[in-house]
């Protein structure tokens, strides 16, 4: 397999740090450069990220001396030096959209964790185990942008990564309505307990924009590629409440779902246990051996015990039982900055390499 030179834009942030730690020793992708805002540009990474490094392991030696580039001012230079970039920046949406499109037009593909381009019908939002064929929209996007290589592909919001995977193997039962409450970690806001001490011993019932994304984005993931666009699924209704809880990493979802046709609970568990996808068939380096793990213990999955399952790339499910108002209810969790952000972005890039788009 060819190796690729990659850049990380937003390298000093929570997701950027996760990219750096997950890409250490990656068999296909080598970090060639790092970029962030003008505030960090010109400093060695070790200095710019000093006191901000929030990953469990130490900062990799390979990035410590890399001098951070300015994502906007150095765009031309960055695009010329790498095969593609991972992008996770905290900027106003219109500026993020512009920045990502600029890189794509410089013929540098962008694997994005930002929400700015998620609703564009010709930008694929890929969870490799669910909708790997949505990459088929890339040639249409290239036509719109006037590019040969450049394009944008996006990762979904981290909240939906905790419950959409568990619902996906049940799709053919006709999912009618879903009620979901998510309990989301503080790293999802780019924070730690040091930088957000008010979250200790606290629960906050609001995460800006999160409920809209949690209700809307699954429709695109379950959408269909038709006439050069991803047409969103229409036949189901999702309602969500998203709550911030005092947990460092890992989002939990409590899910209630109603179907047109029901099957016994044991068969649902079997579908979860047997689920395999393109990511496993292609043996992508970051793909979990098993995407969905069901726990029979009534007090599992737990965030601290189970978020790191399969290096944080698996989704854990438990407490499946009948419901009196919907058909079933269950809980599920995923690691928000691994599977829900950087790890999911890396897996998507591996898929796009295997499919010949990168």
* Selected binder of ligand NAP within 6, 7, 12, 284 (CB under 6 A): 12
Alpha-carbon radius of gyration of the chain: 20
Instruction: Give the residue with the Cβ less far from ligand NAP, 116 or 352.
Output: 116
Rounded to an integer, what distance in angstroms lies between the CA atom of residue 112 and that of residue 246?
27
What is the number of other CB atoms lying within 10 angstroms of the CB of residue 101? 19
Strands 229-231 and 292-295: unpaired
Q: Closest approach of Cβ 259 to ligand NAP, in Å?
A: 29
Instruction: Give the residue with the Cβ less far from ligand NAP, 137 or 189.
Output: 189
Please list every residue from 165 through 204 that binds ligand NAP, using CB under 6 A: 187-188, 190
Binding of ligand NAP at residue 214 (CB under 6 A)? no
Binding of ligand NAP at residue 346 (CB under 6 A)? no
Angle between the 14-23 and 343-354 helix axes, to the nearest 10 degrees? 50
318 Cβ partners below 8 Å, 6+ apart? Answer: 294, 295, 296, 297, 298, 300, 301, 330, 331, 332
Q: Closest approach of Cβ 120 to ligand NAP, in Å?
A: 15
* Selected binder of ligand NAP within 109, 128, 288, 340 (CB under 6 A): 340
Burial pattern 167-182, b for ≥16 Cβ within 10 A else e, equals bbbbeebebeebbbbb
Catalytically active residues are: 158, 251
Please list every residue from 104 through 143 that binds ligand NAP, using CB under 6 A: 113-115
Binding of ligand NAP at residue 59 (CB under 6 A)? no
Q: Closest approach of Cβ 343 to ligand NAP, in Å?
A: 10
Please list every residue from 35 through 54 that binds ligand NAP, using CB under 6 A: 36-37, 39-40
Instruction: Give the residue with the Cβ less far from ligand NAP, 121 or 188.
Output: 188
Rounded to an integer, what distance in angstroms lies between the CA atom of residue 180 and that of residue 112?
25
Give the closest residue to 5 by CA, choosing from 30, 34, 23: 30
Rounded to an integer, what distance in angstroms lies between the CA atom of residue 272 and that of residue 295?
11
Footprint of ligand NAP (CB under 6 A)? 10-16, 36-37, 39-40, 71-72, 88-91, 113-115, 158, 187-188, 190, 336-337, 340-341
């Amino acid at each position: 397999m060819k190796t690729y030179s990659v850049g990380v834009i937003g390298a000093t942030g929570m997701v950027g740090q996760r990219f750096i730690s997950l890409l250490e020793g990656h068999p296909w992708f080598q970090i060639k450069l790092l970029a962030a805002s003008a505030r960090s540009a010109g400093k060695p990474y070790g200095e710019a990220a000093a006191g901000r490094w929030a990953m469990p392991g130490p900062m990799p030696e390979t990035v410590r001396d890399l001098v951070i580039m300015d994502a906007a001012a150095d765009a031309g230079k960055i695009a010329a030096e790498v095969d593609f970039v991972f992008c996770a920046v905290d900027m106003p949406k219109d500026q993020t959209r512009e920045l990502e499109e600029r890189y794509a037009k410089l013929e540098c593909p962008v694997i994005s964790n930002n929400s700015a381009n998620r609703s564009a019908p010709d930008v694929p939002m890929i969870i490799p185990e669910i909708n790997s064929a949505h990459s088929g929209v890339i040639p249409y996007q290239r036509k719109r942008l006037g590019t040969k290589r450049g394009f944008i592909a996006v990762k979904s919001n981290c909240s939906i990564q905790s419950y959409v995977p568990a619902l996906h193997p049940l799709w053919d039962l006709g999912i009618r309505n879903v009620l979901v409450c998510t309990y989301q970690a503080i790293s999802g806001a780019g924070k730690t307990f040091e930088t957000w001490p008010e979250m200790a011993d606290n629960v906050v019932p609001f995460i800006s924009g999160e409920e809209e994304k949690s209700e809307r984005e699954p429709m695109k993931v379950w959408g269909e590629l038709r006439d050069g666009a991803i047409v969103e699924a229409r036949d189901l209704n999702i309602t969500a409440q998203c709550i911030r809880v005092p947990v460092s990493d890992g989002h939990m979802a409590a899910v209630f779902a109603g179907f047109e046709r029901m099957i016994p609970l044991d068969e649902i568990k079997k579908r979860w246990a047997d689920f395999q996808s393109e990511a496993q068939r292609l043996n992508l380096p970051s793909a979990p051996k098993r995407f969905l793990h069901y726990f029979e213990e009534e007090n599992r999955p737990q965030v601290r015990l189970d978020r790191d399952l399969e290096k944080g790339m698996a989704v854990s499910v438990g407490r499946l039982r009948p419901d009196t108002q919907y058909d079933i209810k269950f809980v599920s969790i995923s690691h928000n900055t691994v599977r829900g952000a950087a790890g999911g972005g890396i897996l998507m890039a591996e898929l796009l390499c295997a499919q010949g788009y990168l």
